[in-house]
Amino acid sequence: MIGQPRDYSQMLKRIFWASVIAGIFCTISLGWISPDLNKFLNLSAEKWDFGPFKLPVLAALIPLAASMIARIITLHDLVSDIFHIREYFDIEHILKPLASGVGISVDSKIRKKFKVNRHTLMRNTFYKYAPDADNAKINPQLVVTALDRWGWFWSMVEPSIIVLIAGIVALLFVGFMASLIYFGFTLVLNLAALFYWPSCIRAAHYEVEAILQNTDRQEVIHEAFNEI
């Protein structure tokens, strides 16, 4: 979880374990503040060794199941789609600088084309040269750094959804004051994600600059933009 990811798959593992940790925190704390939930979590006397801790089976299964569901549906991607996070980032901080770097003036008409053809353009201009650290045509450390920044960003955003759900559970089964604790943690996690946002931008700019250093790549990128 701490090591820098070299590809998207490794980044997903970090996000998964961050969600597991958030889920365990929420499950255990809900059991502490709610006698009914505590009774439910301790239906089985069996304990699971979860690293240095021993947890009731349900207290471990619920966070694991929630994190697995989040992984299967790629919850962070759903959040990104709802709030247009990656769309905005790809257009403003990758495609626009790439286009400007090969002499293409980006106006409102071009920006609309970016939005419609974003995935194709990203594949043919950016990911063509920086798909992951092992296959990058630029300095692989630049890719690793970008993945690391995004990994921490999403490791704040996705667990915040789990904590938000815990807040709703607390509101329903405990009370408003108890729910404020979880809603407060949700806010803290999202503020932490905002803290990583500028570093995500910087990492992307370094990648774009490295890609544009090669004239052959500039010609390919220029052609890719012309094709839309």
Residue 37 banded pLDDT, cuts 50, 70, 90: confident
Determine what percent of the chain is predicted with pLDDT higher than 70. Answer: 96
Q: How many CB atoms lie within 10 A of CB 78?
A: 13
Q: pLDDT tens-digit profile of 13-24?
A: 999 999 999 999
Provide the 8-state DSSP code for 212: T
Distance CA 132, CA 91 (A): 20
Return mean pLDDT, the chain: 93
Better pLDDT: 39 or 125: 125
Q: pLDDT tens-digit profile of 118-170?
A: 999 999 999 999 999 999 999 999 999 999 999 999 999 999 999 999 999 99
Residue in this structure with the two tokens 């974003």, named with its chain if needed: 118
Query: Is pLDDT of 228 > 90?
Result: no
Q: How far is residue 178 from each of residues 51, 122, 187, 188, measured CA to CA in Å?
A: 28, 44, 15, 16
Query: Is pLDDT of 40 > 90?
Result: no
Closest CA to 146 of 213, 207, 211, 84: 207
Provide the 8-state DSSP code for 19: H
Domain boundaries, the chain: 8-226
